[in-house]
Amino acid sequence: MSNPPTALGSALIEGQPSLRQITRDVSRPLDSRPSKSWFACLAVTGSALAVGTGMVAYQIATGIGVWGLNSTVGWAFDITNFVFWIGIGHAGTLISAILLLFRQKWRTSINRSAEAMTIFAVLCAAIFPLIHMGRPWLAYFVLPYPNLRGPLWVNFRSPLLWDVFAINTYLIISLVFWYVGMVPDLATLRDRASNKIKKFAYGLLSLGWDGSARTWVRYEKLSLVLAALSTPLVLSVHSIVSMDFATSVIPGWHTTIFPPYFVAGAIYSGFGMVMTLLILARSAMRLQKYITIRHLDYMAKVALLTGSMVAFAYAMEFFIAWYSGNPYEQSVFFENRATGPYAWAFWTMVICNAAVPQTLWFRKIRRNVAALFVISILINVGMWFERFVIIVTSLHRSFLPSSWTMYYPTVIEVGTLIGSFGLFFTCFLLFIRVLPSIAMWEIRELVGTRRPDSGEDG
């Protein structure tokens, strides 16, 4: 905590605030009454969540026949949303774990919100496989436990089962990493709290943190161990999700490019959502001093890299389909996607995911907050359509022309999607009201030297 400030640290934090000022700035949203704009946002997201809850309740009571699925297209909105939300959660683990291992200081102001986003995104993703079962109260059937159903056990060779274990592991590790990272800040809030209820709650959550040198040494070792455990999950989770498709025999799916392609796309969409949330948070919570243009610039560069990887994967898919001479593969890419009835979705995907991020080559764009906000939204629109295109255009025209059919989402499916966004943003709004959205202790470390007036307030 007493190291001299580095040049990078000075560039990442505007104005070199004192340690006391850092504590006050980050704690301000937790100490003050919520603003009218916060309540307005909560009303909107809560309404969306209520709509989604009603749609899911109706679907469970009635059956999945209320969806637009048919005998040809058995996966559509539900699995599209599942893969989309799993991808959103990847940026949090990348920012927290991998960048920590590589000692990248620019992660400090954004890792806490990104980690929280991961938790909420995985919760949103978990909803869709459950309701896709039709009978979510029987979800425990996928668990390998001694039962009375005779030889009926889960299929351990199925990627669908691998999803269960991978995603639950991802959620548990991410949750532990997120909570452990907050312990020093929870102790600071405990020492500053004047309200007895807050003091008790923060004291309970801070696990008796005393700030001693021995505690810090153990804490930093634990952080590195958790980062090392989390890092493989960035690659494994979405690779396993991609195998839901890649291990099939359906044209357009069974390809070895899917695991790296899905991982790059997940990081790409995750950084898009991180930029959306942090641009809003830095303005609404007056945190421009800590979430600087430089942070946004770095995130834009990562989005440019992963977006270019996704664009390359699109080109390679078409090249492989053409070069293979396989008429079924060629039909999927050239007739179903590029020129078929869902061409509008395909070209929306290409424009948002391949063309839009190329504007990030320009420094002025990367440092323009309004432009980055629009681009971040377009990234996630494009990544949602990517999953939709992959699933629907490979299914709606099967091997037998007599089975060809179109898929149209119903109001129930659209309402469920709206509800998932309502859940995500409601959780995030509550998070920034009760927990520090920026890691205070990491910002203090980045600032470095204490000033004569820089007491820590606990």
Instruction: Return the higher-pLDDT residue of 449 and 397.
Output: 397
Residue 452 confidence (pLDDT): 39
- The answer, yes or no, to whether residue 339 has pLDDT greater than 80, is yes
User: Three-state DSSP class for 311?
Assistant: helix
State the CB neighbour count (10 A cutoff) for residue 21. 17
Considering the domain 7-447 in this protein, what is its CATH number?
1.20.1630.10
3-state secondary structure 18-56: CHHHHHHHHHHHHHCCCCHHHHHHHHHHHHHHHHHHHHH
Burial (0-12, 13-18, 19+ Cβ within 10 Å), 342: buried
pLDDT for 377-407, tens place per residue? 999 999 999 999 999 998 988 888 888 889 9
Residue 351 confidence (pLDDT): 95
Q: How confident is the model at residue 120 (pLDDT cuts 50, 70, 90)?
A: very high
pLDDT for 420-435, tens place per residue? 999 999 999 999 888 8
Residue 195 confidence (pLDDT): 82
Q: How confident is the model at residue 11 (pLDDT cuts 50, 70, 90)?
A: low
Sorted by where each begins, the domain ranges of the chain are 7-447
**Closest among 182, 212, 172 to 111, alpha carbons compared:** 182
Range ranked top by mean pLDDT from 100-114, 230-244, 282-296, 383-397: 383-397
pTM of the shown model: 0.88
- The answer, yes or no, to whether residue 448 has pLDDT greater than 70, is no
Instruction: Return the higher-pLDDT residue of 67 and 144.
Output: 67
Residue 451 confidence (pLDDT): 42
> Could you tell me what percent of the chain has a pLDDT over 90?
36
- The answer, yes or no, to whether residue 454 has pLDDT greater than 50, is no
